[in-house]
């Protein structure tokens, strides 16, 4: 693992270094010269081709994938091989290379260069938590990406914004560096520099729009892959129920007696952690089931209610490569009539659940969340505005009264930085609330009034079943399961080096252990649980100081404010 990781990081570092050198040469020695721009565009294209060529190699290096000869795969999983063989025969493509990641986090993905050199990977979690029909639906979805040649298409789509960004950067830095070296009396290039500024601005705007369009195209490709799954299985509900388990972590299956029997051993193991109430957990688990042992419609509607009605969902949808699960299920529902099957989850009661939890509108909560999240920035903008008013006087229409000296301006900024420090503390108090209470996956996932900013402080108990990114060597996150479902555990300390150390030294060792986790349940866009403290059954305790780390910026603001107060007292 060490050699693979080191070689991957070394290659990435060297390529970044080469790009920086070439970029500097193109800007510094060829300012305003179109030849320099062509060099940078050409080099950007080379980087894209390099990523396209090396991407599959990096994936094989960075993921623990057990590659299985297709004959063995077909013998072990004939229902999946049937789907693969059917697509290979119809589309006349080569059989994808099949791999399995031995991790209970249910994930699946494909990668490769073309549809004739594809790899299809699933995890043990797909085989463990999903029934045979759901497994076929997931594999059919991934096969959809292969037959649609999404590897090439998305490489081209995402390349266009990168080229626009290169043009914008080249224009900006050409103006910046060239303006430093040209004579003050030289006005010959004024129009050229003005044109370059316009090009930089237009290119940046075009890059941003192009990036959003690229994400939109990516979401469309996911819908097409979903459609391919529905066509191959001839039942869109198979993928819908798989999405409920994978995206929302709602797992209740089997009869009540089977579930109780299955959980006896895990209940005994978790009692020793201190807060687990097996009777309550069993009762909650039963509420997630319908009469046939499947996940109840109400539980799914409540989980999907966040995707459908929370304003944060619309925000995340814009910047996501995948559609929200509820949107995908709704699209799949539209195809049910084509195959003559009833809709499994129609979300008809989702709005009533939302209104019961939070009322008819969630705009107030969303605005409050944004205000809290951006509070220090809002204070800073107000300071800039007051300073502008002081300097320019709004063309004489407004007078500031006491702000007539530099001393008072220093005092304004001193007070402003102190207020920003308290703003950081207020934001941290809101985002990292106290009052941790015992909870479980299904109760958390069915809570609609939650966001990345507005958490539910909780304590959950269960088992770590896998890594947050299944099979990824340096994934610091984890996958958790209790008696009601699965949950993504977000370690996120706040420093990349700490996250990297945790991934290598701690995360793997926690897989398979019974744990109690104290932290904050959030959603954005998927459900996740941010760690404060992890206790293992062996008595070990792991803290995460991400909350405390946020106070560093508050301390910095206070120190700057104190320094400005010192200047103010000294000058006065």
Q: Residue ranges per domain, the chain?
A: 2-61+152-220, 63-147
Q: What is the pLDDT of residue 195?
A: 75
- Read off the pLDDT band of 400 (50, 70, 90): very low
Percent of the chain with pLDDT over 90: 56
Report helix angle 363-373 to 406-431, nearest 10: 130
More confident residue, 496 or 556: 556
* Contact indicator for 88, 97 with CB cutoff of 8 Å: no
Q: Which residues, at least 6 apart from 502, have a Cβ–Cβ distance to it below 8 Å?
A: 476, 491, 493
Q: For 553-569, what is the mean pLDDT?
A: 92
* Contact indicator for 226, 146 with CB cutoff of 8 Å: no
- Pairing state of beta strands 437-438 and 66-68? unpaired
Residue 13 has pLDDT above 80, yes or no: no
* Contact indicator for 557, 421 with CB cutoff of 8 Å: yes
Least confident of 161-175, 410-424, 453-467: 161-175
CA distances from 136 to 81, 146, 332, 445 (A): 9, 15, 15, 26
Q: Please give the structure tokens belonging to residue 275.
A: 């807060």
Q: Which residues, at least 6 apart from 378, have a Cβ–Cβ distance to it below 8 Å?
A: 371, 423
Q: For 475-489, what is the mean pLDDT?
A: 94
Q: What is the pLDDT of residue 387?
A: 83
Alpha helices in 77-149 (DSSP H): 78-91, 124-129, 132-147
Q: What is the DSSP letter of 472?
A: B
Residue 470 has pLDDT above 50, yes or no: yes
Q: For 480-503, what is the mean pLDDT?
A: 90
Q: For 229-252, what is the mean pLDDT?
A: 93
SS3 state at 352: helix
- Per-residue pLDDT of 185-211, as tens digits, reads 455 556 667 777 888 888 889 999 999
Q: What is the pLDDT of residue 273?
A: 40
Mean pLDDT of the chain: 83
Write down the pTM of the prediction: 0.85
More confident residue, 411 or 264: 411
Least confident of 47-56, 96-105, 125-134, 152-161: 47-56
- Per-residue pLDDT of 266-283, as tens digits, reads 433 333 344 334 344 334
Q: What is the DSSP letter of 531?
A: E
Q: What is the assigned CATH class of domain 63-147? A: alpha beta
DSSP letters, 152-176, are HHHHHHHHHHHHHHHHHHHHHHHHH
- Read off the pLDDT band of 255 (50, 70, 90): very low
Q: What is the pLDDT of residue 277?
A: 41
Whole-number CA gyration radius for the chain: 28
CA atoms within 13 A on the CB side of 263: 28
Backbone angles phi, psi at 478, to 5 degrees: -135, 165
CA atoms within 13 A on the CB side of 214: 18
Least confident of 198-202, 213-217, 529-533: 198-202
Catalytic residues: 142
């Amino acid at each position: 693992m060490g050699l693979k990781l080191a070689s991957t990081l070394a290659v990435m570092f060297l390529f970044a270094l080469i790009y920086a050198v070439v970029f500097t040469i193109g800007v510094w020695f060829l300012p305003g010269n179109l030849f320099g721009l062509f060099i940078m565009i050409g080099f950007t294209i080379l980087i894209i081709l390099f990523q396209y060529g090396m991407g599959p190699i990096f994936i094989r290096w960075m993921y623990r994938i057990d590659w299985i000869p297709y004959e063995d795969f077909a013998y072990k999983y004939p229902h999946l091989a049937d789907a693969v063989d059917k697509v290979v025969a119809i589309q006349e493509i080569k059989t994808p290379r099949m791999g399995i990641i031995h991790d209970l986090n249910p994930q699946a993905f494909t990668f490769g260069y073309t549809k004739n050199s594809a790899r299809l990977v699933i995890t043990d979690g797909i085989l463990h938590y999903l029934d045979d029909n759901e497994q076929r639906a997931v594999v059919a979805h991934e096969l959809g990406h292969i037959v649609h040649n999404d590897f090439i298409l998305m490489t081209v789509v995402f390349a266009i914004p990168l080229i626009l960004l290169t043009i914008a950067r080249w224009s900006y830095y050409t103006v910046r560096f060239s303006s430093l070296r040209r004579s003050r009396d030289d006005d010959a290039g004024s129009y050229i520099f003005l044109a370059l500024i316009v090009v930089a601005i237009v290119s940046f705007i075009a890059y941003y729009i192009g990036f959003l369009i690229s994400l939109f195209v990516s979401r469309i490709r996911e819908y097409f892959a979903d459609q391919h799954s529905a066509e191959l299985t001839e039942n869109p509900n198979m993928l819908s129920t798989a999405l409920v388990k994978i995206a929302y972590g709602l797992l209740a299956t089997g009869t009540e007696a089977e579930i109780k029997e299955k959980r006896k051993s895990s209940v005994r193991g978790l009692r020793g952690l201190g807060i687990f109430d097996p009777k309550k957990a069993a009762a909650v688990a039963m509420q997630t089931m319908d009469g046939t042992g499947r996940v109840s419609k109400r539980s799914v509607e409540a989980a999907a209610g966040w995707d459908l009605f929370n304003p944060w969902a619309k925000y995340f949808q814009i910047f996501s490569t995948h559609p929200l699960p509820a949107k995908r299920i709704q699209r799949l529902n539209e195809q049910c009539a084509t195959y003559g099957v009833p809709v499994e989850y129609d979300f008809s009661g989702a709005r009533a659940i939302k209104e019961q939890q939070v009322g008819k509108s969630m705009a107030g909560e969303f605005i409050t969340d944004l205000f809290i999240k951006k509070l220090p920035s809002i204070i800073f903008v107000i300071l800039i505005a007051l300073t502008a008013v002081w300097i320019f006087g709004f063309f004489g229409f407004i007078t500031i009264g006491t702000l007539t000296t530099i001393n008072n301006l220093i005092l304004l900024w001193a007070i402003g930085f102190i207020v920003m420090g308290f703003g950081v503390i207020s934001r941290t108090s809101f985002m990292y609330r106290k009052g941790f209470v015992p909870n479980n996956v299904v109760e958390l996932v069915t809570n609609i009034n939650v966001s990345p900013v507005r958490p539910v402080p909780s304590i959950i108990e269960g088992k770590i079943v896998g890594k947050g990114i299944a099979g990824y060597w340096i994934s610091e996150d984890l996958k958790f399961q209790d008696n009601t479902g699965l949950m993504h555990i977000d370690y996120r300390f706040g420093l990349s080096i700490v996250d990297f150390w945790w991934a290598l030294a701690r995360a793997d060792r926690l897989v398979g252990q019974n744990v109690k986790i104290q932290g904050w349940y959030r959603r954005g866009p998927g459900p996740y649980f941010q760690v404060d403290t992890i206790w293992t059954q062996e008595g070990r305790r792991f803290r995460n100081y991400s909350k405390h780390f946020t106070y560093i910026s508050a301390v910095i603001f206070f120190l700057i404010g104190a320094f400005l107060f010192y200047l103010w007292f000294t000058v006065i």
